[in-house]
Every structure is written in structure tokens, then in C-alpha cells.
Amino acid sequence: MGEGYNPGPMMRYRVHVSGTVQGVGFRPFVYRIAVQRGLSGYVRNLGDAGVEIEVEGSRDVLDDFLRALREEAPPLAEISGIAVAEIPPNGERAFRILKSREGGDGGGTIPPDIATCERCLADIDDPKSRYHGYWGTSCTDCGPRFTVIESLPYDRPRTSMRDFPMCEDCRREYEDPLDRRYHAQTIACPECGPRLSYLENGREVTGDPIALAAQALKSGKIVAIKGIGGTHLACDATREEVVAELRRRLGRPGQPFALMAPLPLVREFAEVPPEAERLLLSPRRPIVVLPKKGGKLADSVAPGLHTVGFMLPYSGLHHLLFQRLDFPLVMTSANLPGRPMLIENGRILSKLSGIADGFLLHDRRIVARCDDSVVRLAAGKPVFLRRSRGWVPEPIPVDLGEEALLALGAELNVTFALYHRRKVYLSQHIGNVEHLETQEFLKGAIAHLLKITGARMPRVLVCDLHPAFPTTRLAEELGERVIRVQHHVAHVAGLAGEHGLGKLVGIAVDGYGYGADGGAWGGEVIVWREGEWRRAGSLLPVPMPGGDLATLRPGRMAASFLLAAGLDPTEVGLPPEELRIVVHQIERGLNSPETTSAGRFLDAVAAWLGISRERTYEGEPAMRLEAAAAEGKPLPLEPVIREHGGRWVLDTVAIFGELHRLRREGAPAPDLAATAQDALARGLARIAVRVAQEEGIDVVGLTGGAAVNDAIASAVKREVERAGLRYVQHEKIPPGDGGLSFGQLVHAAHALAV
Ligand code: ZN
Ligand code: ZN
Ligand code: FE
């Protein structure tokens, strides 16, 4: 503004911003754009009602402020409305960030980790910038958050960045309200910030660590890379001998590996529909499961699957690495089977000594371990396979009453959930708690979440009905009162809770959950009304010969279905001795509990078709079946529904019989796989529709681990909508057991209210 410029009369606006504008760096952003323009006034949070701003200045400048408010908002902010009212100016001089009206959350909302922003990437690439080539560049819009924060309020001395005192240049930017890095708690530069090192054979190698790691990857080595919330094992995803070697060293024969590559490279290997592109580019940077394209990836990346999980680089480190590489990397979590991801340098070096050839490490402590999130599209909408880095600890607003609650999930894919002040904090991925190390991680993560939310340990703990789960024992240990929630009731309640529904007919297509009668449930239709529930339908119970062994050896389930259908079980290809035992177990009812699991039905079909005879990771047979089905088309098959034990059952044995007939008539395996999924989905949907009509409920939803199956979700949606009912699926939480703790909270809160 030069001499003689007439700014015009002073005006004052009161601006109300609604949407996702809290805990995303919105107030510092407003402060900066106001101060940069010489405006006075204030900004403050209004709790659930959004953010209120008053700004005073000349009209031109105020209008430019409003433009910046819309156009330059922080990456995780989602503005749904801006209302502006003119009020009388009061001659205020300064601009201030005011305490929240309710006082409660002043600076108390911890943001998730956010991918390095475009402007920081430009700094990294700019030879004139002091951030040039620096792997840990960040600003108020981007960088690690949840994974570095030790306690409240979010301020550098209470993060693992306290180990790195700011240099003068960083200090200057940190204190300059006009700078993009004003109060950026993770500000760091090559002068003062965390450093990288590259090690081989236990010794640091001299040279540029990123260039050394890139060279090692090009030569086919396996490199452990410490990142934001944990450590990855990386290698060239296009070389079969390299990826197969990683599988051999890890002892992980089949579980698909996630990949990382910049977007143009992703497009060479996978189909990227627009919705998937949006997810890939999101600053939350999840792994997105995409249909494979072409044949250039190593077969061992995702054996037997039609999809592959890709994520884009999300830290400066990743970007600098990919400047030197022209192939996608396998980027799989560095952990021993079922154990938490490694995060401490000493343990990374010792535990991975026989697995990684090289180690690209940094010296910033990871306070909270946080695995990559995974999403895919089902029935046209994104669903979580895992909700972790990029989302955690962002709360999900839901009113479950006054009482604070803590829910601990089940056993596999555990997350826990804290209900505190009308918000649910769903934890990061914890994993399989049958291992002691994972139980320790669970306890530590609970303590950390309580600390960063300022909550006390709730009196009421919530857990599964299963008496022997470690989460059940921990709930007994921690809670003054414990509420146990049946597994599939929790799945359905979670779906109702996230959609704000008081009643819902829920279809749970799931693997295993402990039933209210102690049985192995997993293909259920449940009527849920504000905490009351009824098992209105299920799959037909069939024996699981050998109990848990029938899960690991899906051929046993196939034999069980064939025997029940009066067919010859020899065609499933079980070794004769094992088949003899299976037949004996079923005939005598020895160690053959019955199950209604949808997962076991899909497993059985996969084994019978020769698609998957051995389960090497959770969900493998069903995932391979889905891959085979993607190549085929469902054949007409009328699902048989009848009454059994006071509920409706879908006769899966009859489906098996029909599949057997179709196969005799020459139907190819992909069509049979597609038919099995379709008949299961339509059969359960018809039960749900019938029950909904009887009960006068107009919403039917889909939940459970197999709800991420696109063909199943699409078929259920079609069937429900054809009946004139509303269809819902999970949007905010995973449909699998990673979302179970949320549902446990919803159901327990209603049970408390009764
Ligand atoms: Zn940035
Ligand atoms: Zn510095
Ligand atoms: Fe489940």
C-alpha cells in the first residue's frame, strides 16, 4: 500500500464458517491471512457449530480475506458454509485467537498426520530454498502430527521434535505471523532437524543416505525405510525374484504387499477411476486397492488377486526417493507376523537383520505407531479396510449420552474406541492381540489416547462376548463395570451409529463372531432398535469339521457342504486320510461345531473350485474367490429361504448343490465363483428385506468383514433398493473388525440408557 492510497471507510464483518474446521489448523490459518492483510478482529471455535471470525478493515481487503478463506484453507479443512454479516466497526487494532466459547477444547484437538503439501514439495525441489533436498520439510499445513505428539496441548516441547532445538532461521519463521511456518510445531531444516542415515551390515555408509538407498533398491536389495508412523520393507515391485525373496525372508507366502509410486507410474500398473484418484491424492494418503492392469508387476506382489494396493509418496523422504527411481516399490509394514510394526531404530536393526539388506533410518522418535490406512471401492463408494494413519485421532462426532466409555474390539484387526464429550476417538490399527507384544501396544496406545484427549479412564468398559479374548480380560481388569456386546450386533450397531439411525436391519457378512448361544456366527440378519436386537435370520448352520482347523484348511468346509448336500466329498482334493477323518468327525459330531459364517461358505467354494486350498492369511480364500469371480458372470440361481429355529435361514447347502449341478453342466470356475457370491448376497438381502417389511423398518445395511467385497455389496444394494428400501454401508469406520469397537460403544451406550 503506497502513499496516497485511500483504503476507504473501515468495515467489520462477522463470519461464520461451518464444516470440518476444527483440529485441522484452521484458526492459525485464519490468523495468518488476517495478519498478512493488516486486519484486526478475532477467530474462535464454537464447538460443534464451527468457527466464528470477526474482521475489520477496508472493503477491498476484507473481500480478499474472504477469498483466501475459501481458496487457501488447510488441506484437511472442509468448508460447508460461510455466512457473512456486516456489523459496526469498533476500532480494534490487533487480531487475536480467542479461547473456545465452551473452553473445553482450546488447542486440544490433535490432528492426524498429513502428507507433505505442494508448497513444501516446491521448497524441497528449489535449489535456492534452505529446505532444498531436506526429507523432513513440513509446515502448518502438513507433516507428522499424531505420531509425534506426546501430550497436550500440541506444542513443540510436547512432541518428539523437542529433541531438535530450532536453529535461528527456523525460529524466525516459527515466530513470524506472516510466514507459512508460523507456529508450525514440526518445523525443521537440514541445519537443526532430524537426520537420515543409511546402514548396511550394521554400519553407517558414507554418502547421501537417500541416494544410497535408491541405489540399493535399483540393484534388487530389500531396504527397511523408517517413515512417519512406522517402518516399511521396500523393494522393486517389478522384479519377481526380488519380491519372492522378500516373501521367503518374511515367511509371508501370500498376503498382498502394498505398493508406493507417484501417480503417473501407478497408472501404468493399475486402473485408476476418478473416485480412486481422489482418494490417492487426498492429503490423508491411504493405500487404495485398485484393479490390476497389464502384467508388469511381479506375480508375488498380490498372488491370485485381481487387485493391488497403491499409495502415493506422502513424506519428503518418499518424494526424494522416487526422484531417483522409475519403478514402483513394495512398501509393506515391517513387522514380524501378527506383531506390531517396528518403530525404534535399535529394534528395527536387530529384528530385521535377516530380512533387510539396507536400512534408511532417521533419528526422530515415533511416539505413536500408526500403520497406513487402506481403502477400496465397494458398490461405488469408498470403504475402509483399515482406518489408521491420516485419520487417527480425528474424532467422529456422535451423541451417545453423558457417560464416557472405552471399547476394546475383538481379537483380530483390533482397534479400540473412546467415547468422550460426544465424540468417538477410534484408535489406530492395533492388530492381532493374541500376541503379547500386541497386547502391550494396545495398553500403551490406550494410555496415549487418554493423554492426548485429556480424558480419564472411563468407568465403563465394553468388549466382545467371547470369554477368552485378551480384550475381554483387559476390559475386566480396567473397568468398574463391563458391558459385553455380541460381535455382529456390534457390527450392525456401528453401522446404525455412523448413519444416525435409531433402527436398522443389518446384514453381517463376516468370518467369525462368538454367538449369543456360544455358537460360531458370521452370516447374520439382525434387527437393531436403539440397543435392542433380534437375530432374525442367518445362513443355514453347517458343521466345521475340526473346529478352527476348518478355517485354516478350507477344503474341510467344502467337504462339509458337499456331505450335507448328499454329494461326493472326494472331489475337493483333500488328502484321503484327512478326508476320512473329516467324514468321521461330521458323522459322529466330533469336534464339529456348527457355523453360520459367510466367510466359511466363501472359503468352501474357493477350495472346491481349486482356487484356494490353504489359508495363509486371514480372508485369503474369500479374496481369491472374489478375484476369480471378477473374471466371470453370475449364473441364475434361486436362493432358498426357509424357517429354521425361529428365524429365516438361507440354505447354503442348497446353493452348493446348485453350484455342483452347474459345474457338471460345464460352467467355468469364474462364473461359479461369481454365482456363489451373488447367491449369498441376494439370499441374505431377501431375508433382510422381508424382515424390514415385517418390522416396518425402511433401512437395510451391510456390515462385516466381507462387506468390502464389491460384488456382494453391489448385489445387496440392488436387491434392497429394488424393494424400495434405503441401503446403507459403512463410510466412516471399517466394516470389518477394525470398526467393531465403534459399534460396541454405540450398542453399550444404548444398553446403559435402557
Ligand atoms: Zn507443507
Ligand atoms: Zn532449522
Ligand atoms: Fe467381524
Q: Which ligand is nearest to the CA of 514?
A: 3
- Mean pLDDT within 662-687: 98
Q: What is the Å distance from ligand 2's center to 177 Cα?
A: 17
- Check: CB of residue 671 under 8 Å from CB of residue 628: no
Residues having C-beta closer than 5 Å to ion ligand 2: 167, 170, 189, 191-192
Is beta strand 647-650 parallel, antiparallel or unpaired with respect to 532-539? parallel
Q: What is the Å distance from ligand 3's center to 272 Cα?
A: 29
Q: Which ligand is nearest to the CA of 741?
A: 3
pLDDT-derived band at 24, boundaries 50, 70, 90 = confident
Please name which of 168, 74, 148, 65 lies closest in space to residue 118, comparing C-alpha atoms: 74
DSSP 98: P
- The three-state secondary structure class of 29 is helix
Amino acid in position 338 = G
Q: What is the Å distance from ligand 3's center to 265 Cα?
A: 35
Q: CATH second-level architecture of 196-362?
A: Alpha-Beta Complex (3.90)
Q: What is the Å distance from ligand 2's center to 149 Cα?
A: 19
Q: What is the Å distance from ligand 3's center to 409 Cα?
A: 10
**What is the pLDDT at residue 153?**
79
Q: What is the Å distance from ligand 1's center to 114 Cα?
A: 9
Q: What is the Å distance from ligand 1's center to 70 Cα?
A: 18
Cell of 423: 465424540
The answer on pLDDT for 208 being more than 70 is yes
Q: What is the Å distance from ligand 1's center to 168 Cα?
A: 20
Please name which of 268, 228, 227, 281 lies closest in space to residue 118, comparing C-alpha atoms: 281
- Fold classified for 540-695: Nucleotidyltransferase; domain 5 (3.30.420)
**What is the pLDDT at residue 14?**
97
- Mean pLDDT within 715-726: 98
- Check: CB of residue 725 under 8 Å from CB of residue 689: yes
The answer on pLDDT for 242 being more than 80 is yes
- Which phi and psi angles does 583 have, rounded to 5°? -60, -45
CA 723 to chain CA centroid, Å, is: 32
Note the pTM of the prediction, 2 decimals.
0.95
Measured distance CA(213)–CA(78) in Å, rounded: 38
**What is the pLDDT at residue 50?**
85
Interhelix angle 710-722/669-695, nearest 10 degrees: 40
Lowest mean pLDDT among 44-53, 242-251, 296-305: 44-53
Measured distance CA(727)–CA(419) in Å, rounded: 27
Measured distance CA(566)–CA(146) in Å, rounded: 56
- Mean pLDDT within 17-45: 89
Measured distance CA(182)–CA(176) in Å, rounded: 5
Q: What is the Å distance from ligand 3's center to 395 Cα?
A: 22
Q: Which ligand is nearest to the CA of 188?
A: 2
Q: What is the Å distance from ligand 3's center to 513 Cα?
A: 6
Q: Which ligand is nearest to the CA of 171?
A: 2
Q: What is the Å distance from ligand 2's center to 24 Cα?
A: 24
Q: What is the Å distance from ligand 1's center to 237 Cα?
A: 29
Q: Which ligand is nearest to the CA of 509?
A: 3
The answer on pLDDT for 561 being more than 90 is yes
Tell me, letter by letter, the H, E, C secondary structure of 418-435: EEECCEEEECCCCECCCC
Please name which of 142, 143, 160 lies closest in space to residue 363, comparing C-alpha atoms: 160
Q: What is the Å distance from ligand 2's center to 173 Cα?
A: 9
Q: What is the Å distance from ligand 1's center to 132 Cα?
A: 13
Measured distance CA(303)–CA(38) in Å, rounded: 59
**Is 754 exposed, middle or buried (CB count within 10 Å of its CB: 0-12, 13-18, 19+)?**
exposed
Q: Which ligand is nearest to the CA of 140?
A: 1
Q: What is the Å distance from ligand 2's center to 129 Cα?
A: 12
CA 643 to chain CA centroid, Å, is: 38
- Write the pLDDT tens digit of every residue in 573-610: 899 999 999 999 999 999 999 999 999 999 999 999 99
Evaluate whether the domain defined by 11-106 bears CATH number 3.30.70.100: yes
Q: Which ligand is nearest to the CA of 409?
A: 3
- The three-state secondary structure class of 592 is coil
Q: Which ligand is nearest to the CA of 734?
A: 3
Q: Which ligand is nearest to the CA of 174?
A: 2
Q: Which ligand is nearest to the CA of 131?
A: 2
Q: Which ligand is nearest to the CA of 619?
A: 3
- Mean pLDDT within 634-652: 96
The DSSP bridge partners found for residue 41 are 55, 95
**What is the pLDDT at residue 76?**
81
pLDDT-derived band at 347, boundaries 50, 70, 90 = very high
Is beta strand 231-236 parallel, antiparallel or unpaired with respect to 329-333? antiparallel
- Mean pLDDT within 411-438: 96
Measured distance CA(422)–CA(274) in Å, rounded: 34
Q: Specify the DSSP element, H or E, that contains 554.
A: helix 554-564
Q: C-alpha distances in angstroms, 638 versus 440, 522, 658, 680, 683?
A: 49, 22, 9, 10, 8
Lowest mean pLDDT among 174-188, 696-710, 736-750: 174-188
**What is the pLDDT at residue 5?**
60
Please name which of 648, 628, 649, 638 lies closest in space to residue 711, comparing C-alpha atoms: 628
Residue range(s) occupied by CATH 3.30.420.40 in the chain: 540-695
The DSSP bridge partners found for residue 43 are 53, 97
